[in-house]
């Protein structure tokens, strides 16, 4: 066996295990058609891990994640009400996701905002705006800013309760994510949208200064500066103007969810979280407790996260493309799941059956490619 990879599987909560069950099938199909082996190791993570192991990110999961080649993570968390059964610091966001990001310093978060021409009916935007589909790469800084800054609560000298939350970046934290963004722009249309709020925030003024320095190393890339509030409008009015976008953590959290709205569902947005030594891959959405256990959640974002892993962690570019193609063909055949907005003549299938169709398309694509070469 020329290549063998070990992957930690963190199925997560609510719809997590349902969509993960479909995603892991992809590894088996690739193994059947290529000279590669994947060893998958299931690990407790999230709210379910808190109930079974007393920790949202148990030590045994940390140890496994430390030694694997890549991590595939499902959505985690419970409904607002259910979360109250867990102490705040062990709730899935603070107790599992943020510590995972911090542990592997996954500073560059890739969120592809993609709709093929045949998928534009998912978007709530008018056909004249969205008709050619969408292909944007949103790059979000993931381990700095308000998310990880010092936090303080107390009572001030006037007897009033107050809160203080700090936004801190050093120049290297900004530079490293900007380098990733410029490098992606070079591989694509050489056009980078820098999203900031320098008319108000000094952190954005500093971010933009560092951007000018990094830009000097990528003179072929055209940079367009756009205020984050204006970017929110532009994403609705003319999303086709964007190719690669880069922004700090909090802006990226909000704009990527808005982009999910433009796609028609965050269920159509996988993501990659890349650190210097380790990467993990996850859907950009939450665990959707309202539809858990119903076998109706679309596994696109989870399977797309496997595609991103194949490409970014294992250099399997062609296989990753085949996975994307396999999923898009299911939609092109008029098949969808009940959680997505559908055109009136779509055939609605369950999570499992959607997975069956992706697997069967993928087998066909990998077989044909082998015959062609
Ligand atoms: C995301 C999520 C997370 C974030 C939450 C669950 C901590 O919303 O990945 O966008 O805010 O980063
Ligand atoms: Mn978010």
Asked if 242 and 188 touch (Cβ cutoff 8 Å), the reply is no
Do β-strands 151-155 and 161-165 pair in parallel, antiparallel, or remain unpaired? antiparallel
| pLDDT tens digits along 146-188 | 999 999 999 999 999 999 999 999 999 999 999 999 999 999 9
Protein residues whose CB sits closer than 6 Å to any atom of ligand 1: 93, 97, 253, 284
Q: Which burial class, exposed, middle or buried, applies to 237 when counting CB atoms under 10 A from its CB (0-12, 13-18, 19+)? A: exposed
Region 29-33: mean pLDDT is 98
Q: Is the pLDDT confidence value at 1 over 60? A: no
Q: Would you please indicate which residues are annotated as catalytic (active-site) residues?
A: 147, 197, 229, 253, 257
| pLDDT tens digits along 32-74 | 999 999 999 999 999 999 999 999 999 999 999 999 999 999 9
Region 261-276: mean pLDDT is 97
pLDDT confidence band for 365 (50 / 70 / 90):
very high
- What is d(CA 56, CA 71) in angstroms, rounded to the nearest whole number? 16
| pLDDT tens digits along 115-150 | 999 899 999 999 999 999 999 999 999 999 999 999
Calculate how far, in angstroms, residue 253's C-alpha sits from the geometric centre of ligand 1: 6
Q: Whose CA is nearest to atom 12 of ligand 1?
A: 253
- For the question of whether the overall pTM of this predicted structure is more than 0.95, the answer is yes
Calculate how far, in angstroms, residue 318's C-alpha sits from the geometric centre of ligand 2: 29
Q: Is the pLDDT confidence value at 341 over 90? A: no
Q: Which burial class, exposed, middle or buried, applies to 146 when counting CB atoms under 10 A from its CB (0-12, 13-18, 19+)? A: middle
- What is d(CA 286, CA 47) in angstroms, rounded to the nearest whole number? 12
Asked if 148 and 102 touch (Cβ cutoff 8 Å), the reply is yes
Domains identified in the chain and CATH numbers:
1-118+264-373 (3.40.718.10), 124-137+148-263 (3.40.718.10)
Asked if 145 and 167 touch (Cβ cutoff 8 Å), the reply is yes
- What is d(CA 36, CA 337) in angstroms, rounded to the nearest whole number? 31
Asked if 228 and 281 touch (Cβ cutoff 8 Å), the reply is no
């Amino acid at each position: 066996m020329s290549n063998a990879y070990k992957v930690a599987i963190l199925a997560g909560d609510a719809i997590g295990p349902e969509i993960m069950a479909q995603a892991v099938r992809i590894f088996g199909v690739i193994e059947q058609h290529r000279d590669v082996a994947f060893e998958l190791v299931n690990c407790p993570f999230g709210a379910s891990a808190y109930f079974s192991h007393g920790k949202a990110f148990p030590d045994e999961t940390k140890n496994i994640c430390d030694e694997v080649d890549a991590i595939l993570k499902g959505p985690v968390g419970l409904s607002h009400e259910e979360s109250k059964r867990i102490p705040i610091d062990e709730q899935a966001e603070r107790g599992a996701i943020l510590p995972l990001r911090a542990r592997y310093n996954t500073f560059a978060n890739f969120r592809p905002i993609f709709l093929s021409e045949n998928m534009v009916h998912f978007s709530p935007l008018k056909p004249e705006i969205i008709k050619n589909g969408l292909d944007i790469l949103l790059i979000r800084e993931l381990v700095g800013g308000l998310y990880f800054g010092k936090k303080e609560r107390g009572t001030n000298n006037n007897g009033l309760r107050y809160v203080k939350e700090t936004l801190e970046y050093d120049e290297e934290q900004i530079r490293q994510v900007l380098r990733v963004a410029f490098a992606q722009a070079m591989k694509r249309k050489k056009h980078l949208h820098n999203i900031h709020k320098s008319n108000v925030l000094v952190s954005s003024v500093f971010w933009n200064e560092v951007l000018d320095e990094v830009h000097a190393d990528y003179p072929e890339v055209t940079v367009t500066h756009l205020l984050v509030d204006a970017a929110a409008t532009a994403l609705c009015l003319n999303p086709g103007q964007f190719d690669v976008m880069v922004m700090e953590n909090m802006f990226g959290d909000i704009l990527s969810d808005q982009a999910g709205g433009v796609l028609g569902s965050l269920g159509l947005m996988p993501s990659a979280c890349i650190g210097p030594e380790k990467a993990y891959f996850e859907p950009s959405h939450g665990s959707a407790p309202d539809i858990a256990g119903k076998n109706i959640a679309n596994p696109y974002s989870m399977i797309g996260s496997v595609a991103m892993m194949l490409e970014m962690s294992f250099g399997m570019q062609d296989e990753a493309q085949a996975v994307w193609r396999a999923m898009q063909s299911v939609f092109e055949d008029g098949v969808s799941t009940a959680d997505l907005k559908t055109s009136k003549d779509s055939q609605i299938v369950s999570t499992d059956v959607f997975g069956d169709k992706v697997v069967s398309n993928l087998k066909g694509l990998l077989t044909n490619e082998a015959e062609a070469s």
